[in-house]
Each structure stands twice: as C-alpha cells, then as structure tokens.
Amino acid sequence: MKQLKQLLSKECSYQLRDEIMDQFISSMEEITLHQGDILIADGSLDSNIYIVKEGIMAHTYLSGAKDCCWGFSLPGTMMYSLHPYYFNKPAFYQVIACCDSVVMKQSKERFDNLIAESHEFARWVLSMAQCQLFFFEKKNSVISGDARERFISLAKNRPEIFQKVPMKIIASYLGITQQYLSNLKKEYKKLIYG
C-alpha cells in the first residue's frame, strides 16, 4: 500500500490525508495481468476505476481495421473509461497490458460514494482529473514533430516504454512502421539503453 500511495502522491498537486487515501486503497481489488491481456475491452460497459500499480497499459482504438495507440498509463496513473463511467455507453478505447502488470480496481459505486462522503476526496479526484488533462496537453507538446523527433522525445522522456512495450504498440503510438522503428532504435541505441 505504501508504494501505491507514493505513486499516487506524485500524480497530482493536491495531497490526500493518509487516512482517506488508506480508505480508498484498502477498498480496491488487486488484478494481475499478463502481456496482451485486455483490462477494458472496447464496446464493454466497464465503469470501474483502475490504478496502475506495476507495469504499463496501452490505450488503443480501432481505426478501420488498424489498431492505433493514443497513450500509455504507467504506475500511479488512475484510469477509467469515460463513455461507460459517465453515460453508461460502450467503451471506445481498449486498455491492454503491454507487459505483466498489476492494477488496482474499484467499482464506480464505491468510488462515487467516497466522493459523496468526503469533500477532501472529491477535491483530490478533481485534482487528479486536472493533472491528467495537463499531462495530455504536455504529451502533445513534447511528442510532436516528425517521426524521428517523436521517437527521440519518447526515448528521452519515457525510456521504460522501450524496455517493456512491444514494438508494434510503440510504432502505432509514434505513427510509424515497425521497420522504421527498428531502424530508429538501432540508430539511437545509446539514447534508449544508456
């Protein structure tokens, strides 16, 4: 629990008191996933709240017949599917384990009850949402430019992705072919592996 609390405290500027954080985490269920396991399937009505404890999760969607990756969740990231959570509509994005991972799960009902019961928890949830919007905007400002620039930025900012995520998913995220990604990895091997 201590490790998860430390990860969550780094995710947003508003710090939740220990007793409320303990109440939140202790009511969660731990789920172990293997590489390739689907946590949230597109089209599902999964309204649960998840926090990545270990590993990396990819958020993907279908564009025609092609799987596209728009982002990753790393340890400490809180995630949920907005369509089912807010409007009880089928999930658009699919969340997949990029490597063996552990996530914590809490039901929407329990999460909503904690928000209703604790103003402090509600403030923390709002701060987490604002922080996620900030990081989404930051990602778009950092991972930009041509394919080579996007690759270099990802290698500098998130080298763990190259160590744990399959090339197919990284290539999709960067909008390049796996062959071109392989060439870039060879060219910038020192940047990724030190």
pLDDT in tens, 94-143: 999 999 999 999 999 999 999 999 999 999 999 988 888 877 777 766 67
Residue 82 clears pLDDT 80, i.e. is over it: yes
Binned at pLDDT 50, 70 and 90, residue 171 comes out as very high
The residue count for the chain: 194
Report pLDDT for 92.
Answer: 92
| Span 18-45, pLDDT tens digits | 999 999 999 999 999 999 999 999 999 9
Binned at pLDDT 50, 70 and 90, residue 179 comes out as very high
- pTM (two decimals): 0.89
Q: Count of CB atoms within 10 A of residue 143's CB? A: 19
In whole angstroms, what is the distance from residue 146 CA to residue 174 CA? Answer: 9
> Token digits for 166?
């399959």
In whole angstroms, what is the distance from residue 1 CA to residue 53 CA? Answer: 10
> What percent of the chain is modeled with pLDDT above 90?
64
Residue 193 clears pLDDT 70, i.e. is over it: no
**Measured between alpha carbons, how far is residue 26 from residues 22, 29, 39, 76, 118 in Å?**
6, 8, 20, 16, 16
Tokens 């926090």 correspond to what residue? Answer: 51
Tell me the mean pLDDT in the region 150-165. Answer: 89
